[in-house]
Amino acid sequence: MGPTVKPNFAAMAKSASLDKQILQNSLNNFFQLIGDLLQEGQNVEVDLYEFGKFSAINRQIIYAPINKQKPSAF
């Protein structure tokens, strides 16, 4: 089973000021590592800064996009 949405690695790499191939390989390795940790039954949380946060709790993967809030008026 493949992903339902194909990532735009070129746009992501440009946003992160990285080479496309480096970003793609890094993300592939990242997801492989999450899979390996989940097989061991561990909880995982990875902060991707401006790209959001990935959490894996009880073998369920959750992606939380960054919440850019407006500055407070106070």
pLDDT band at 20 (very low <50, low <70, confident <90, very high): very high
Q: Helix, strand, coil proportions of the chain in percent (round to 5)?
A: 40, 20, 40
- In Å, how far from its chain's centre is CA 27? 7
Residue 48: its H or E element: none
Question: What's the pTM?
Answer: 0.55
Q: What is the pLDDT of residues 21-63, one digit of tens each?
A: 998 998 889 888 877 877 777 788 888 787 788 888 887 888 8
Handedness of CA 60, 8, 4, 65 (dihedral sign): positive
